[in-house]
Amino acid sequence: KLTQIADNVPKVYEAGQKSENDRFWDSVQDNGKRTSYQFAFAWWNYEYIRPKYKVAPTAGHMGQMFNNNKSLKKIEAEYFDFSKVPVAAYASNGLYYTFQFCYELEEIEAELPGDFLSGTFHSCSKLHTIAKIKVKETTTFTANPFYECTALEEIRFEGVIGNSLDIHWSTKLSMLSLVSIVNALSKTVSGQSITLPTTARQTYDDATYAGRWDELVAEYPNWSFKYS
């Protein structure tokens, strides 16, 4: 009997853990019916957020959703789906300081909507990968959304960049990341600038051939290319 009791203790413990986990997420996510996640995980202290129901906002917006989550390491696509976030009706409906001060964040696996970026990844100094940001020609980039993103290597843009963007802090951007950024630039807008790290030309030429970067840039005479 003592052996049987000892064998059952872990099972009882696991069942209790699952019950408490279910109770917690049912409360946080309104039993899976929650549709707006503004501030939802701000100031949490979790390395990984793995909710019971997939987080798929269909109302409200993502403003400050993970702001000041100082332990968060990864946004996993298995748990987050941002594809149904409504088009921004006003500025703060977009990626408004969504990941600001997430100092430990390393990877965003889930694709992000890009109607509006403001301070989005501010101070994410360990962030090395952003799977995809879907932008529009009207997307604006304010409050330095990539400020101090010094570890960023991989980022992909889908859509068209039509407004000035500064990403010069990211000196480790790969050749493919640089291609994604430049190839997304609108060929019709005017008076806009793209600010890249001083390493951009060398990184690109090393992966292709000497002078290739200048050839690529020349395809976008309507943009002012700056380096910092």
Q: Please report the pLDDT score of residue 13 as a whole number.
A: 46
Phi, psi of 173 (to 5 degrees): -55, 130
Q: 99 and 73 in contact (C-beta within 8 Å)?
A: no
Read off the pTM: 0.91
Phi, psi of 91 (to 5 degrees): -45, -55
**pLDDT per residue over 100-158, tens digit each?**
999 999 999 999 988 889 999 999 999 999 999 999 999 999 999 999 999 999 999 99
Q: Is the pLDDT of residue 91 over 60?
A: no
Give one DSSP letter per residue of 116-134, joined into a string: EEESTTTT-TT--EEEEEE
DSSP 8: H
End-to-end Cα spacing for the chain: 72
Q: Is the pLDDT of residue 201 over 90?
A: yes
Residue 218, Cβ neighbours under 10 Å: how many?
9
Residues 150-171 have a mean pLDDT of: 98
Give the count of alpha carbons within 13 A of 179, CB side only: 8
Instruction: For residues 40 and 176, give the distance between their C-alpha atoms in angstroms, rounded to a whole number.
Output: 33
Q: 161 and 135 in contact (C-beta within 8 Å)?
A: yes
Instruction: For residues 179 and 80, give the distance between their C-alpha atoms in angstroms, rounded to a whole number.
Output: 27
Q: Please report the pLDDT score of residue 155 as a whole number.
A: 98
CA dihedral 16, 21, 26, 31 (to 10 degrees): -90
Work out the angle between the directed axes of helices 175-183 and 200-207 (0-180°, nearest 10): 110
Q: Is the pLDDT of residue 93 over 60?
A: no
**CA-wise closest residue to 41 among 13, 80, 14:** 80
